[in-house]
Structure 1
Amino acid sequence: MQAVTDTINHLADTANHAVQQLATAPPQELRFGDLILKGGWVMLPIGILAVLGLVIFFERYFTIRKAAKNESQLMQQVRGSVLSGNLDSAIAICRNSNTPLGRMLQKGLLRIGRPIKDIEGAVENIGKLEVSKLEKNIGILGIIAGIAPMLGFLGTIAGVIKIFFDISQSGDISIGNISGGLYVKMVTSAAGLFVGMIAYICYHILNMMVDKVILKLETDAIEFIDLLEEPSK
């Protein structure tokens, strides 16, 4: 009996010591990197969408910004050459500018001699082509803004299904078991929403920039057509 009593006391001391260690242990920190890794396979496509969206945004941003630069000097040079009758010089100036406005004006200058409606139509068509070039791949950002949150929700739902499947197998329905797995699976929803919001914002920023370029090109096109009509007034 004494041996049994000693064993019980030893086990009780061990249990008390373990409880004290758990009580004095520092709380576990919630680290961002650990959450990303625990998010599961869904984090991989969400990460790919995030990288793709950033690449498209910065590439389009600098392209559109370059197209939106002030071309007042180009218009003045073209106006001076046209009014002086030196069309070859005006065409060369437009060609060397290598800008959307320069290509529009060059097309119009090459149509001089035809009815003004034909010149206006040619300039308009080139303008539409240049705008479509600026809008290239912007639509992909809109797709990312819609797909990323859905991928996040898919990851969360898949995780919840697995949690309840494990519970059905083990019979352990403790709140710790449920919440411990659920908070990890919610990471995919948060990541998907975050990527989707960033893509949505970037999409509209680029569209606003393109709208400003369109307005500027239309204004310059009207000024160019008025310039061609001046001698005949």
Structure 2
Amino acid sequence: MLFLLQVDSSKLVNTIAQQPQTMNLWTLLNKGGWIMYPLYVLLAVAIFVFFERLIAIRKASRIDANFMHIIRDNIITGNINGARNLARNTDNPVARIIDKGVQRIGKPIDAIEKSMENVGRIEMYKMERNLNILSLIAGIAPMFGFLGTIVGMLQLFSAIASTGELELGEIAGGIYTKMITSAAGLIIGLLAYVAYNFLNTQVDKTANRMEIASAEFIDVLQEPTR
């Protein structure tokens, strides 16, 4: 009976010893090797660009609901200077487009629309600035991850070829650790892709508001002549 207990205890100890040790996330990522450092840089750049653009786009999209009503009232009553001062002192793309339109009052409608469209293009460029960085990261981060996996596999098989030892456990462990870079690259690329599309959606919403405001302004200019 004592012998059986000793055997069972030894088997239990061996079983526990053979169980894989748990690793925290940082330790797991470090197993990816040197290629993880460029991925860390890409992740940091993506986070910075996302929040910097998010703040800028949200600031540009803040438009007072009564802004166009006040502009309309001032123009209809002939208070062009009041409309100009309101548009000049309001810091958003819609106000700058309207300000350009107010400056061109008295000229043909086509010339006014052309001037406002030019300002609108400039404002769109300001909002879309640096968004292509997120698109670039979404494309190259997975490639960096795959590159790290390929380099790791080459190192693994080079070591096997030089030593002549072929153990399934070591091969599986090597492949497992080298696949970390691929997973990290795909995750970073996915995050950058989602961030890029989200910000583009916000830019499109602001662009629609700019177009609506421009159309309302042109209607106001034509209203007295109806």
| Alignment TM-score > 0.5, same fold | yes
In 2: Cα distance, 1:24 partner to 1:61 partner: 50
Is 1:183 aligned with 2:176?
yes
For residue 125 of structure 1, what is the aligned residue in structure 2?
118
Q: Residue 20 of structure 1: CA displacement?
A: 7.7
Count of paired positions: 217
Is 1:204 aligned with 2:197?
yes
Q: 1:29 aligns with which of 18, 22, 30?
A: 22
Q: Residue 120 of structure 1: CA displacement?
A: 0.7
Matched to 2:79, the amino acid is N
For residue 229 of structure 1, what is the aligned residue in structure 2?
222
Could you report, residue by residue, the CA deviation over 1:107-166 in whole angstroms, capped at 9, with x for unpaired residues? 011011111110011011101110111001111101000000000000000000000000
Q: Residue 34 of structure 1: CA displacement?
A: 0.9
In 1: Cα distance, 2:140 partner to 2:164 partner: 36
Matched to 2:225, the amino acid is S
Runs of 5+ in structure 1 lacking a partner? 1-17
SS for the counterpart of 1:50 is: helix
Q: 5 Å matches for 1:10-49? A: 22-25=14-17, 27-49=20-42
Larger displacement relative to structure 2 (183-192 or 19-28): 19-28
Q: 1:105 aligns with which of 89, 98, 106?
A: 98
SS for the counterpart of 2:34 is: coil
In 2: Cα distance, 1:65 partner to 1:24 partner: 55
Runs of 5+ in structure 2 lacking a partner? 1-9
Q: 5 Å matches for 1:143-222? A: 143-222=136-215
Q: Residue 23 of structure 1: CA displacement?
A: 3.8
In 1: Cα distance, 2:11 partner to 2:132 partner: 58
In 1: Cα distance, 2:13 partner to 2:212 partner: 75
Q: 1:66 aligns with which of 59, 67, 76?
A: 59
Q: 1:138 aligns with which of 131, 134, 138?
A: 131
CA contact 2:61–2:92 (8 Å) conserved in 1: no
Larger displacement relative to structure 2 (69-78 or 109-118): 69-78
Normalised to the residue count of structure 2, the TM-score between the two structures is 0.91
For residue 75 of structure 1, what is the aligned residue in structure 2?
68
In 2: Cα distance, 1:82 partner to 1:100 partner: 20
Matched to 1:176, the amino acid is G
For residue 116 of structure 1, what is the aligned residue in structure 2?
109
Question: Share of identical aligned residues, percent?
Answer: 43
Q: Residue 80 of structure 1: CA displacement?
A: 1.2
CA contact 2:101–2:112 (8 Å) conserved in 1: yes
CA contact 2:94–2:209 (8 Å) conserved in 1: no
CA RMSD for the aligned pairs? Answer: 1.7
CA contact 2:145–2:184 (8 Å) conserved in 1: yes
